[in-house]
Structure 1
Amino acid sequence: GVGKGAGRAPKENPFAQVKVLSSGENAARVKQYAARVERINALEDDVEQLSDEQLRAKTLEFRKRLADGGASEDDVLEEAFAVVREAAFRALGQRHYDVQLMGGMALQDGCVAEMATGEGKTLVSTLPVYLSALRGTSATLVVTANDYLARRDAGQMGKVHRFLGLTVGLVQ
């Protein structure tokens, strides 16, 4: 018979793409992230020495490496995160903590990164957003809960992205 919803495609589960990590997977992933944080930290002295122009030029360098097909986002992640960390310090006076770098990696991997109030979730977002924008093939969208947060975050975190030569817009 023809019942309610007959002929309609089944509704997609919006959470179907969310990765749920078991404790074993999570521990291994955290260990991998911690090793990457060490490598990012090892780049810090060199990145700090770059002029604003040289730091900004890293965006074009990363884009070229990605476009040439010789590198993936994962290949440039550590350098890109080090560059964003330094840009955030120069543009906002805020430096990503190690745990924020790990949160950025989790988001980049398509995972949910749970962080408490005040742990810098908004600053964390600058990391995977920058890495995603390096592809330069389309817009990178950041969605937030309301217009106030959208304006605030586009204004504040947009300073980091504009510092690195990206264009930031706001849709309300």
Structure 2
Amino acid sequence: MLKQIANLFGISNEASIKKLQPLIESINSKELSLKTIPTEQLAAKSNDLKSKISEGLSLNDYEVISDAFALVREAAKRTLNQRHFDVQLMGGIVLHQGKIAEMKTGEGKTLVSTLAAYLNAIQGEGVHIVTVNDYLAKRDAQWMGAIYQTLGLSVGILQHDSSSIYIGDNGKDNSNHLETTTRKDAYNCDITYGTNNEFGFDYLRDNMLTDQNQKVQRPLKYAIIDEVDNILIDEARTPLIISGPASDSSKDY
């Protein structure tokens, strides 16, 4: 298994991969015990982990990462019938460390992102998942929303002309599992999906306000960027420009 992972990430990263192996083994060791827990109790386990964080445990603590990733894997198995492989667990650790994880199309990067997103969201300070277009933001939130909901987290979705929250299967006639909400409520969710333009323009609009209570974004904490080369290199060449009303009357010019 280690050799296969090394081939995927590159030989130059083999030493880094070896350092992660004990953590992967710790995550795997929890799988059997979680398997016997009823689904409705996974949220309680998640709350226990939140309590440990609020009491001072670091998100970088091996036991915290191990517990968090094991919970996400179990929730994914039960809600999506998908199980994170060891290489995907490593990808999640790399994302949590603020590094770039390169994965080919079809290798499950959307599923990988749930690991680091959940781990950083349990602090209660918000996580942004940045996509390249509205379609992917909505699709990924609807697709992965059941994982987060099972673990007691809320999910917001930003679109160009609307915002919503993931409500799952609440018994209502709502095939897309979404409910329209305010922009601020979408940002107040534990995890918020949106495009780089939506996050960027909301940031600019917030900084043009004179009333702090009208701001929609919380203080920025942690983000996962999909297609990072496209967003931080290609798209970065196109500036986000926003204008406001002039303070002086045009008749003076």
Q: Which amino acid aligns with 1:98?
A: D
2:140 corresponds to: 153
| Residue pair 2:40, 2:150 contacting (<8 A) in 1 also | no
Instruction: Say which structure, 1 or 2, has more relative contact order (CA 8 Å, 6+ apart).
Output: 1
Q: Give 3-state SS (helix, strand or coil) of 2:157's partner.
A: coil
One-letter amino acid of the structure 2 residue matched with residue 74 of structure 1: N
Aligned pair partner of 2:25 in 14, 24, 38: 38
Mean Cα deviation higher: 114-123 or 71-80 = 71-80
Q: Which residue of 1 aligns with 2:51?
A: 64
Q: Does 1:131 align with 2:119?
A: yes
Please report the RMSD computed on the Cα atoms of aligned residues, expressed in angstroms. Answer: 1.5
Identical aligned residues as a percent: 51
CA–CA separation in structure 2 for the residues paired with 1:149 and 1:163: 22
Structure 1 match to 2:39: 52
Partner of 1:94 in structure 2? 82
The code of the aligned residue for 1:116 comes to K
Per-residue Cα deviation, 1:30-71 (whole angstroms, up to 9, x for no partner): 1122221111111110011111122111221111001011x1
Deviation at 1:74, TM superposition (A): 2.0
- Greater fraction of residues in helix: 1
Q: Match for 2:90: what amino acid? A: M
84-93 vs 30-39, which moves further: 30-39
The one-letter code of the counterpart of 1:162 is: Q
Task: Report how far residue 107 of structure 1 moved.
Answer: 0.3
Mapped partners of 1:93, 1:140: distance in 2: 24
Aligned pairs (5 A) from 1:9-24? 23=12
- Residue identity matched to 1:129: A
Q: How many residues align?
A: 148
Separation in 2 of the partners of 1:33 and 1:134? 22
**Which of 66, 71, 77 is residue 78 of structure 1 equivalent to?**
66
Tell me if structure 1 keeps the 8 A contact 2:96–2:116.
yes
Deviations 1:77-107 (A, max 9, x none): 0111001000001111111011000000000
Where has structure 1 moved over 3 Å in runs of 4 or more? none
Partner Cα distance (2:107, 2:69) in 1: 18
Distance in 2 (CA, whole Å) between partners of 1:62 and 1:125 is 19
Structure 1 distance, partners of 2:22, 2:137, is 33
Which residue identity does 1:146 align to in structure 2? N
The structure where strand makes up a greater share of residues is 2
User: Equivalent of 2:94, from 106, 121, 127?
Assistant: 106
Larger radius of gyration: 2
> Distance between the aligned counterparts of 2:131 and 2:43, measured in 1?
27
CA distance in structure 2 between the aligned counterparts of 1:35 and 1:68, rounded to whole angstroms: 25
Aligned to 1:171: 158
Q: In the aligned structure 1, how far is the partner of 2:77 from the partner of 2:84?
A: 8
**Partner amino acid for 1:149?**
L
TM-score normalised by the chain length of structure 1: 0.82
Structure 1: tracts of 5 or more residues without a match: 1-21
